[in-house]
Each structure stands twice: as structure tokens, then as C-alpha cells.
Amino acid sequence: MGIPVRQAVRVGAYLMKQKLARREKFALTLELEPLFACNLACAGCGKIQHPASVLKQRMPVEQALAAVEECGAPVVSIAGGEPLMHPEIDVLVKELVKRKKFVYLCTNALLMPRKIDAFEPSPYFSFAVHIDGMEERHDASVCKKGVFAQAVDNVKDAQRRGFRMTTNSTFFTTDTPQSVIEVLDYLNNDLKVDQMMLSPAYAYDKAPDQEHFLGVTETRELFKKVFADGRRKRWRFNHSPLFLDFLEGKIDFGCTAWAIPSYSLYGWQRPCYLMSDGYASSYRELLEDTDWEAYGRGNDPRCANCMAHCGYEPTSVLATLGSLRESVRAVRG
């Protein structure tokens, strides 16, 4: 199964509305970062490299909701940092669910036992737990032993409580086809999460580990082997089939980073969640004052090895909408 039917229908209607209004650029998913602080220091992430004064800040709920309303995206991915460190994260989620936004709360899951009673299961709400490999691989990725076991226990507890559980896995050059297959099989068949997201790692310039980011050729070779022999069909991905085709090199797309804008304590990040070329004060300013043609593979060297979902998943979704065959394929998975 691909994207959940309720979400696919709602997003499809939203996209048709944009098409009828002849809007060329619009938000599909908002990457919302209400804080940068985290309780882990992962080697492949540069978020906690912000100044201490910034790490102490927490975005007010009203400010976050205003950003969601401003861009109009039907899907909101709450990231960070670790969102569960925000004292009013439950309030924010409740308000977004009330507005019938599809909310994915990205978390390392360590704080879930303390926070989970503040949340309620809803078809509009999912925990998105970061799992970057089996136990040894994941604990090495987050630079702390025991995290995998705690995360798995907390996912199982949330499942017993009726929450929709998804995972998000990032892969590096240290991964092999077999290690990727093993973790996807485990998440799909043993942990039985509702859906999985995956992405090749992007080379954050502030990340402590700069040696293990995948290039385009390496990414395609990895996923071509991972998806071989019909394995793709047996895994529950929260991706469009065309994005998975893109990862294994069956199709190529241009970047549409404007469709997954990032809003944080600094404002609207230009041009995307992964790169920081300044900030806009509004989503309209981000759209109108960013030279989008200057970015993407072949334009900006920083984009040369990027195949991340924030740039290419929306392109695949737009391509899916433009094809009846691909639309049916997306619903069937």
C-alpha cells in the first residue's frame, strides 16, 4: 500500500485546486521546526550545532499555526531537534489535527513514555520514529548505545495504545543492500509499523561526519539492489511509487523544493530544509524572491548528490497527479 487513501484523496483534491487556480508554486508539505534542541547528537545531523542561545528557544504554538495557515500545506512534518522536548508539542498537534492537517511528528522516540499520555490517536496523526538500521547500526548512527532497543519498546507501546506508527530511515555509504533489506524487513514484518519513509543522507555542512554521504550513482546502485526481485511490493512505504523509481534510477526528476518549505525559529528557510541561504519573512516572499532556477543538480554544486525526499518527492507527486496510470498505481502501492 502506498500513501494512505484518506491522505491521498485529500492531497489530490488540494493539488487539483492549485491547478484550477493556475498556481505554479505552492506548499505540499510543511517542514516545521519549532526548536533545534535535541537529546541526541547524531553524527550525520548538523541541527544541534546552532548557538546555545538558539537551542534554548521554543517556537510559540500561535507562531507555528500561523505558518501552517500561511502556506496552506495539507501535510505538516514536525521536526527539529527533538519535537517532544517542546513543552507545548501536544497542544500544537491537537490544533493541527483539529484543522485536519496530516501530521507527522518526527522523533527518536526516547521521550515518548513521558509524553504519550498527552496525545490521542487520530487518522490525521502519526509518530514518525527515526530508525536508521538494526540495533548496532542505529546506535552507531545516533552515537549512543541502547537507543534502538528503547525506540522499539516505545513504538510497541504506542501501537498498543492505538497510535499510527511510521518510521523514517536515512542511509549512508556505510549501509549495504543487505543491511537496508534487513531493517526494512524488520520494520515491516516484525515491528509492523504502518508505513516507512526512507532517504539517502544529505551532506549537512555542519554535520560532524562528512565522509559517508551517498552520491547519486551510489544511491541508485544501492536502491536498485534493495528493490530487486520484487521486494518493493512487500514493504509498506509512505512514498509515491514514482519517488521509489527515482531512487533506483528508473526515472529522473527536477527539484521542487518550494513544495516542501521549511519554517523554523529563523523564518522561512531558503531554498530548502537542507540548505541555508538566508531566510524569508513570509512564504510568499520565499516563493517570489528565491531564484529557484539557481538550485538543483547541474545548477548548484551543493545539490549535485542530493536525492532527498524534500526536493524530489513533491516532483513525483505532481507527476503522479498528471497521469491516471500513476495515480492508480499510487493508491495500489
Span 22-42, pLDDT tens digits: 999 999 999 999 999 998 877
Assigned C-alpha cell, 304: 549535485
Helix spans in the chain (H): 5-20, 52-55, 61-71, 89-98, 112-115, 135-142, 147-160, 177-185, 216-226, 241-247, 283-289, 309-321, 324-332
Q: In angstroms, rounded to a whole number, what is the distance separating the alpha carbons of residues 271 and 292?
A: 8
Residue 201 is classified by DSSP as P
Which pLDDT belongs to residue 188? 97
Q: With a cut of 70, list the residues of the chain below it in pLDDT.
A: 1-2, 44, 46-48, 203-213, 323-333
Q: In angstroms, rounded to a whole number, what is the distance separating the alpha carbons of residues 157 and 155?
A: 5
For 128-166, the pLDDT digits (tens) are 999 999 999 998 888 899 999 999 999 999 999 999 999
Which pLDDT belongs to residue 325? 67
Q: Count the neighbouring beta carbons within 10 Å of the beta carbon of residue 205.
A: 12
Question: pTM for the full model?
Answer: 0.92
